[in-house]
Amino acid sequence: MKKTTLAMSALALSLGLALSPLSATAAETSSSAMTAQQMPSLAPMLEKVMPSVVSINVEGSTTVNTPRMPRNFQQFFGDDSPFCQDGSPFQNSPFCQGGGNGGNGGQQQKFMALGSGVIIDAAKGYVVTNNHVV
């Protein structure tokens, strides 16, 4: 009795496992075919708008104020300090270039920005982009 029940259970389990991938595959195939027919393609729209996407490269310079150095640090980073002498790794520090000793500290610094934009009116030259690009 126990052997018959065990054999029948094993047979039912084997048949269930053997037939379940077939029905699942058939269901997936029919649902994916229906999805492909229902979903519109974005390709025609992308072909129209791709010529309006542009790359933007900006280069310029701006005046940067060097922070003032506290008085108790001037002995270490003043113009006559050994840290500011030729060959020192601190020689190009803003403190060693006169800006930290109480001067006006204005220095020219170059900057670059790179991004993308979209042409919205080619006749007027209007391009929309993010603020950080320009």
Check: pTM over 0.95? Answer yes or no.
no
Confidence tier at 101 by pLDDT (50, 70, 90): very low
What radius of gyration do the chain's Cα atoms show?
Answer: 36
Hunting for tokens 């500290």 — which residue is that?
A: 105
pLDDT of residue 70: 72
- Asked if pLDDT for residue 15 goes beyond 80, the answer is no
C-alpha to C-alpha distance for 99 and 78, rounded to whole angstroms: 10
| Six token digits for residue 50 | 């791709």
The predicted-structure confidence for 54-75, as pLDDT tens digits, reads as follows 888 889 998 887 666 677 776 6
Average pLDDT over residues 39-48: 81
CATH number of 42-66+109-134: 2.40.10.10
> Do the Cβ atoms of 80 and 95 come closer than 8 Å?
no
Which of the pair, 74 or 51, is modelled with greater confidence?
A: 51
What percent of the chain shows pLDDT beyond 90? 1
- Asked if pLDDT for residue 99 goes beyond 50, the answer is no
pLDDT of residue 29: 62
Confidence tier at 102 by pLDDT (50, 70, 90): very low
